[in-house]
Structure 1
Amino acid sequence: MKIQILYEENIRNGHKEYTTIDIPDGDYSVMLDIDYEQRLAEAKPEKRAEVKRCETVQEMFDLMNKREYNDWRREHRYIDPSPKRKRMDGRKGYIQGDPEDDSFDIMDYLLTASDDHTDLEREEVCSWIRSVLIKKPQWAEAFIAVRIDGMPIRQYAATVGESENSITQKLNRAAKKLKEFYGNRKI
């Protein structure tokens, strides 16, 4: 019996390249039963009635191939192979990736562009907040911890030993002061 199997490394640009395997004839009921039990265990309780036992080995591998292709497609659907990268040197414009250039990889760009760049931006924003709220450092630290770092108000209040209402008031006053200062800045 010959069956077709799809491996993830054989999916190129959305095109499936199956590998044909010749397996000896025999009773495959044990393999089909195991597959059925695994799919039944993975199914949600309300969907278990829809899970059917495969009749042939090829039908079982077709289900696996479909799942493998859908997983690959979900991961690669929205990645642009030749994206326009923003310049990191402060000048306007984009750096265009050359599709012929094998050394350019979108994942390398995404990994390098996000880590260092956001840390620098965060430090710049935090220093600006501290400079505006220089007379109220408690407001600045509360604003940075809650609004920028995403710490819950309750957790921050417990950390500094104040009430949630007090922290909320400080956040509101800090936001008002920052908004006022930002509106009055000279460009």
Structure 2
Amino acid sequence: MKIRVLYEDNIKNGHKSYTTIEIPDGDYSVMLDIDYEQRLTEAKPEKKAEVKRCETVQEMFDLMSKKEYNHWRRYHRHLGNPKTPYRKDDESEDNTDVMDTLADNSQEIERNYQDEYEDVCQKIRQALGKKQDWADMFIAVRIDSIPIREYATSIGTDENNITHKLKRAEKKLQGIFKNRQI
């Protein structure tokens, strides 16, 4: 039997990408029985007659997903619009913290920073052309702030050699970028 499962990580730009799982025949009957017993014990006494046993694992997963989504929706539906604004100077009225409702854009900021970093590194590599070892050294020492001594030992060369190449790379980059807008 094959079932389709939707993980949160598999939803990209509103498009759902289901993962198909192969379950050998007979292995899922115990799972369906346990699910039925759990739902039967959780049901109110007057609603026990309405609880039905799921026929397939797919039906069970769909039922669990719907229940989980509704629980999440019930909890989060009012977070975007608090009834009273949060004021730190008036603690007696309301303890609502609006900071929980603000968007967290730290990942977007990190992605933008990483994009800018890669763009600058690419421009440095293009400017230095055939001297890729100079570009790697310049990026490591000047942009990533790795000490010259540490960088020299990591590539197995002398510090003076690194310092000399670094000065030559800086001079070449200054000559290239002096009149150009980045």
Structure number, greater radius of gyration:
2
| TM-score, normalised with respect to structure 1 | 0.43
Higher relative contact order (CA 8 A, sep 6+): 1
